[in-house]
Amino acid sequence: MFRLALALTCLAAVAPAADPPKKPDWFSKASKEFTATCDPAEAKPGQTVTFKLTLHLNDGYTVYPTKQPDRPAAGMVSKIDFPKPGAVVFVGTLADPPSPKTKAEPELGIEKLHYYTGKVVWERKFVVNPTQAAGDVTVQLPNVKLTVCDATNCFPAKAQTPEAKLKVLAGPAVAVDPALADEVTKALAEKK
């Protein structure tokens, strides 16, 4: 009996300790949610859809837009890249959310530094390729680096590849919006 107790004690002493719980990374601490969606989520070939990238920040955190109005703040931006034409063709330019907050950073020579808090939504339109077959499509951004800050630090931008699902509906293609037709035609011709 003594040997069994001694053996169990020895086994317990050499059993590996459980790994300590990992601390959440800064992005997980800063954000409640980070999602990509297509609006509408179902579309016919040729139809225009809005891609939305939504970040819900926790209190005390900010994120920069993709462009700053003040030249000294040009490096204080987030980066959002879009895929080459394929199942979808991105058109126009990315729209930073309206109504940014603004502050001055005189020690850096910045009069107007734009930033956002709370719920932040970036949008850009795409056209479903007029020749796209019906079925499910994944629309993935190849590189998103959001510059997020707290009251004292800006964190290294974390590279991410958010994606959204789109269902391409069966049936004949719809006519591409005339305002976007030339851009779509040119993008698809360059793809070849």
Domain limits for position 87: 24-191
- The predicted structure's pLDDT at residue 4: 41
Q: Are β-strands 48-57 and 31-39 bridged in parallel, bridged antiparallel, or unpaired?
A: antiparallel
State the Cα–Cα distance between residues 167 and 137, nearest whole angstrom.
6
- The predicted structure's pLDDT at residue 28: 83
- The predicted structure's pLDDT at residue 158: 83
- The predicted structure's pLDDT at residue 24: 63
State the Cα–Cα distance between residues 117 and 56, nearest whole angstrom.
8
Q: In sequence order, what DSSP letters do the residues of 125-182 get, joined into one string?
A: EEEE-TTPPSEEEEEE-SEEEE-EE-SS-BPPPEEE--EEEEEEPSSSPPPPPHHHHH
Q: Which residues of the chain have pLDDT under 50?
A: 1-15
User: What is the per-residue pLDDT across 140-184, written as a single tens digit (0 to 9) for each?
Assistant: 999 999 999 998 999 988 899 999 999 999 989 999 999 999 999
- The predicted structure's pLDDT at residue 46: 97
CATH of the domain at 149: 2.60.40.10
Domain membership flag for residue 124: yes
- The predicted structure's pLDDT at residue 66: 97
Domain membership flag for residue 86: yes
Domain membership flag for residue 184: yes
- The predicted structure's pLDDT at residue 3: 47
Domain membership flag for residue 13: no
State the Cα–Cα distance between residues 32 and 28, nearest whole angstrom.
7
Structural domain tally of the chain? 1
